[in-house]
Structure 1
């Protein structure tokens, strides 16, 4: 199988499961290689590849495949979107983890309740101090995103700015928090 899907073949492929499997099998090495190159973690690459194939099959089944280019490029674009989603999810988890890192270490050390409460209060003071050091726009985006759980679209509406501006403010807020934490000397915060 050395050719791409030609106009008109998409309809045939969507009905012909065996042919679809042949196309996916033919291009799977290229698509998987792309994913592994970007992710560099075989376990996540396997998951993303599986999700990519599932999305491709669903698109064909539902008649959503558009004959705009090469089949492998289409599969790689689906994989690229899933990789972007994966990276964003990791970034959100890191952001959440940074606000829980002191609490987690306190629990892991098996400290008594009074000492843990003292550490929790200290953590809150540090977080408050660092967040107060942000610009008002960055502080507002950070608060809405982390504490209120709003999407960037909702934040952009509330702040009357574009989604990209809200994303940029969040990015700079996190960068500035890392810098301030490093200056503050708390290495757990500097490793966000």
Structure 2
């Protein structure tokens, strides 16, 4: 039989507590740093995860070992952002990788039409454009986050260019006719 976990209060020694409090007051600075790598909407979550990780390390007695707290926090932020981007990449490759994943998230009555539409869009767009198009319009990610997910030498500018190219291709009259074969365009 499992026993309930008791809540316990963890106290830091006064010097370590002062260091942690000073760190907490710099929230805006660190959230701006996080927002350089990912969308601002997720900066608060990354920051809270970072504070928790730093507090746990300080509470575990590693405070004196951490000489430069700013550098340590930057390292934790970088690791949290990378972990977030890897998780997002895994989630998006499932969607980008197969039409079935898209179809599973659509009501049964529309499933066939959505599957056909995804196949048509895949034929019209290159793999790179399709990936970027899905990340932007399905996951609502900004260009900087998409560049981080796609990796390689992809920059936010390259993402915008690929997205523009994809949108132009999909706006061509022939593309629309393929997407809506039973309707007059």
TM-score w.r.t. length of structure 1 = 0.47
Greater fraction of residues in helix? 1
TM-score w.r.t. length of structure 2 = 0.49
